[in-house]
Amino acid sequence: MALLEVKKLGISFGGLRAVDDFSMSIEKGDLYGLIGPNGAGKTTVFNLLTGVYKPTDGTIFLDGQNLTGKSITTINKAGIARTFQNIRLFSKLSVLENVKVALHQHYNYSALTGVLRLPKYFKTEKAMNERAMELLEPFDLQEDAMTLASNLPYGKQRKLEIARALATEPKLLLLDEPAAGMNPKETASLMNTILTVRDEFGVTVLLIEHDMQLVSGICEKLSVLNFGQLLCEGLTGQVLSDPEVIKAYLGE
């Protein structure tokens, strides 16, 4: 059984059909890319998968669970996490605190416990601090734990956003243009980061990306979206050599 099974997904905004009859199947352990020209509907698909938008039609199953039309919180708890094209960190919180915010889904205590600083509060906070540091280490962020997120270099902010997403313990991680705004050195480091997510954390990855060097170097399979519809899908090498894909990108 596929980890993610999307069938005939669609959404309309007024008279505009933004995504139409879109289907995809992602197996556990895949490193999968969703590509297409600007305005093709890629981020809209991500918004449908994460509950930001409710689909007009179609179904979304994760590990056999029907998540169609469910809330953002329900979908996240079921195992889908994401990052955004425009980085969304808590800029006034430290690196460690950013990760701890996401950990509260799995570590919690009552408001009274927190106010009175009861023993469970200190025990839980200690466990969360330890787990947050464990999540920061693979991304070389442990030495920046007390740094404000806004003071991190751009590349490290991207890594922090991924580490925070992993704190929710997802089965599937959606990365929305993770290389946007990066220089070649940062992009090379990002490739290693994504491989770490898949290989060391055991998380399946679906990413939107315009950097074809990153896509060809890291994605094993691709789906191509154009005008809200699936243009083609398959192994990366085959897809990127498809004349229809080349035509869509070149606008010929």
Nearest to 121 by CA among 110, 129, 132: 110
- Evaluate whether 1-79+171-252 and 88-169 have a shared fold: yes
Q: How far apart are CA 166 and CA 144, in angstroms?
A: 18
CATH for the 1-79+171-252 domain, from 3.40.50.300, 3.90.1300.10, 3.40.50.11540, 2.120.10.30:
3.40.50.300
Q: Which residues, in sequence order, are CB contacts of 229 under 8 Å at separation 6+?
A: 19, 20, 21, 22
For the chain, which residues make up each domain, given as ranges? Answer: 1-79+171-252, 88-169
State residue 113's pLDDT score.
63
The tokens of 192 are what? Answer: 């290693």
Q: How far apart are CA 98 and CA 21, in angstroms?
A: 37
Check pLDDT > 60 for residue 208: yes
Mean pLDDT, rounded, for 128-140: 93
What does the mean pLDDT of the chain come to?
90
Q: Which residues, in sequence order, are CB contacts of 20 under 8 Å at separation 6+?
A: 10, 228, 229
Tell me yes or no: is domain 88-169 CATH 3.40.50.300: yes
Mean pLDDT, rounded, for 31-54: 95
User: Computed from CA positions of residues 208, 213, 216, 218, in that sequence, does the dihedral angle turn out positive or negative?
Assistant: negative
pLDDT class of 141 with cuts at 50, 70, 90:
very high
State residue 116's pLDDT score.
58
Check pLDDT > 70 for residue 115: no
Check pLDDT > 70 for residue 118: no
The tokens of 131 are what? Answer: 């787990």
State residue 114's pLDDT score.
54
pTM tops 0.85: yes
Q: How far apart are CA 179 and CA 61, in angstroms?
A: 28
pLDDT class of 109 with cuts at 50, 70, 90:
low
pLDDT in tens, 65-90: 999 999 999 999 999 999 998 999 99
